[in-house]
Chain A
């Protein structure tokens, strides 16, 4: 049973912000939202995670709604190298498992 729902694909213009949505309406209070991405022919790469506050790091920002039922990953200035499959994952406190769904295929176009 999928814990997250993401669009299958989206396009983004190079240099523009890419906003990737994720629905997780059944998230529980101690579950975190994680984002990973997988560039073609590489292993998945950790991007960011959050519980309820918005988070930002050198790669991206994560905006979580107040009810925590959805979130948005923001790549502030997308480059061609950001073309990848992006996975939104809900994960419990101290839960070792990462359950990868189908993700969103993001294509950044020049």
Chain B
């Protein structure tokens, strides 16, 4: 049963610290997405990769967020420095792209910045 995995599942950190979240997409999927979910804003797209290339990161605060795909099996989302307003659940999703482009979501990383 192929699944998207995310680590860590929970992270508590202090303001100003660097946070790195990792995602392993489903093997063979060529699209990767990062979403953020808060009570106030709901689910928001932060970044989109296709064949490891970043095609859309317009949803990310550029000064503190960065997303990369070092290889096809790993996507990372980094926040430096973190702020309390970054507290949210961060989801990674992967898909095959193309016409139907169903997205398969991971379990999320719950981030709390104090």
Contacts and interface: CB of A to CB of B under 8 A. Distances in A.
Tell me the interface secondary structure of chain B in the complex: strand
Contact of A102 (B42, B99, B104, B106): B42
A43 interface: yes
B42 A100 contact: yes
Contacts of B103: 44, 46, 98
A96 B101 contact: yes
Contacts of A15: none
B94 to A, nearest CB: 11
Interface size class of chain A, counting residues whose CB lies under 8 Å from the partner chain: 10 to 19
Contacts of B102: 46, 49
Interface of B: 4, 31, 33, 42-43, 45, 48, 50, 55-56, 91, 93, 97-108
Q: What 9 pairs across the A-B complex have the smallest Cβ distances?
A: A43-B105, A100-B43, A46-B102, A44-B105, A43-B91, A43-B108, A43-B106, A96-B48, A43-B107
